[in-house]
Amino acid sequence: MIEAKIRGLGTYVPERVMTNADWEKILDTTDEWIVQRTGIRERHVAAPKEVTSDMGTHAARRAMEDAGVSEEDIDLLICATASPDTLLPSTACWMQPKLGLEGKPAFDISAACSGFVYGITVADQFVKSGQYNNVLVVGAEMLTRMVDWQDRSICVLLGDGAGAAVVSSQGEGGRILGSRLHADGTYGELLWIPAGGTRMPPTLETVEKRLHYYTMRGNELFKIAVKSMADVTKELLEGLAMDSGAIDWVVPHQANVRILQALAKRLRVPWERVVVNIERYGNTSAASIPLAFDEALHDDRIKRGDNILFVSFGGGLTWSALIVEW
């Protein structure tokens, strides 16, 4: 039986850092409100000339270097994003020539903040089936360009960044033990972009009413987030005949530090075992798990042999969990 492994990892964040104090200057908000309600202190914001595929390309190149693979070795490119360069073509297709992967299959995954775990799961299937040896999975998000900078209920929460992984049939450690994916479209309007698609094509009126920006019902999402991430983790652990005590590290999607505290409690995982970096990046959607994972690898918290739980939740609604034996 072929195994699928996370063989290399890479990340990228834009240079510009925007603090809560910077938001205070342009919006009716306070550092105190943002820190207390979310745990966020600052986030990175892309340069005007940058686009999502540029950020994804930087992260992907670093992941390929980390994995020790070249363009010829990559069989498939998957990009998870909720902030694409364009509606058509996919961000993966924009990224492909920048990476020298012309001719290789490339597609996007639209699963919002769950996109990275969805992407790794798809890659896992292609590798385990024997069809591909090396799949490049990128989570790239430029959310600061998708939100209304006058809507304080959401704009302070989000940040830009990208992370990428090479999922491979070869390599030391990084074995993907299993995953579970879920979605429930009946909750679609809890986090969505009302206009710009076939449901409400763009007009002057939709622009004036600011309907092409992200719209979120944060309060309702909060409760569902905690429950769904705890449930999918329990389902996955049961499927793998593992106990939550076997999890060495939880690397969750970073949406709100209070969501993560509630999740740790429900899973009975000590808080010190949860990798949290939301204070410096905000919510970077599909990029948040690789950004947190990369940080915990580089500061030597995560060691070879550790069991790592990736767990996420996002618009769709979508939620998912995956366990890797590092």
Write the binding mask 67 to 106 for ligand COA: x where contact by CB under 6 A, - elsewhere.
----------------------------------------
Q: Indicate whether 156 belongs to the interface with ligand COA (CB under 6 A).
A: yes
Write the binding mask 256 to 275 for ligand COA: x where contact by CB under 6 A, - elsewhere.
x-------------------
Any catalytic annotation for residue 79?
no
Contact (CB, 8 A) for 70 and 104 = no
Q: Of 149 and 222, which has the nearer Cβ to ligand COA?
A: 222
Report the C-alpha gap between 131 and 143 in whole angstroms.
34
Write the binding mask 164 to 193 for ligand COA: x where contact by CB under 6 A, - elsewhere.
---------------------------x--
Q: Indicate whether 218 belongs to the interface with ligand COA (CB under 6 A).
A: yes
Q: Of 186 and 219, which has the nearer Cβ to ligand COA?
A: 219
Q: Indicate whether 221 belongs to the interface with ligand COA (CB under 6 A).
A: yes
Among 82, 230, 255, 264, binds ligand COA (CB under 6 A): 255
From the CB of 112, what's the least distance to ligand COA, in Å? 7
From the CB of 33, what's the least distance to ligand COA, in Å? 4
Q: Of 165 and 255, which has the nearer Cβ to ligand COA?
A: 255
From the CB of 169, what's the least distance to ligand COA, in Å? 32
Q: Indicate whether 38 belongs to the interface with ligand COA (CB under 6 A).
A: yes
Q: Which of 79, 93, 113, 155 is catalytic?
A: 113
Any catalytic annotation for residue 283?
yes
- What is the Cβ-side half-sphere exposure of residue 262, based on CA atoms within 13 angstroms? 17
From the CB of 28, what's the least distance to ligand COA, in Å? 7
Any catalytic annotation for residue 298?
no
Q: Indicate whether 153 belongs to the interface with ligand COA (CB under 6 A).
A: yes
For the chain, give the secondary structure using H, E and C.
CCCCEEEEEEEECCCEEEEHHHHHHHCCCCHHHHHHHHCCCEEEECCCCCCHHHHHHHHHHHHHHHHCCCHHHCCEEEEECCCCCCCCCCHHHHHHHHCCCCCCCEEEECCHHHHHHHHHHHHHHHHHCCCCCEEEEEEEEEHHHCCCCCCCCCHHHECEEEEEEEEECCCCCCEEEEEEEEECHHHHHHEECCCCCCCCCCCHHHHHCCCCCCEECHHHHHHHHHHHHHHHHHHHHHHCCCCHHHCCEEEECCCCHHHHHHHHHHHCCCHHHECCCHHHHCECHHHHHHHHHHHHHHCCCCCCCCEEEEEEEECCCEEEEEEEEC
Q: Which residues are catalytic?
A: 113, 253, 283
**Contact positions vs ligand COA (CB under 6 A):** 29, 33, 37-38, 113, 152-153, 156, 191, 216, 218-219, 221-222, 225, 255-256, 283, 313-314
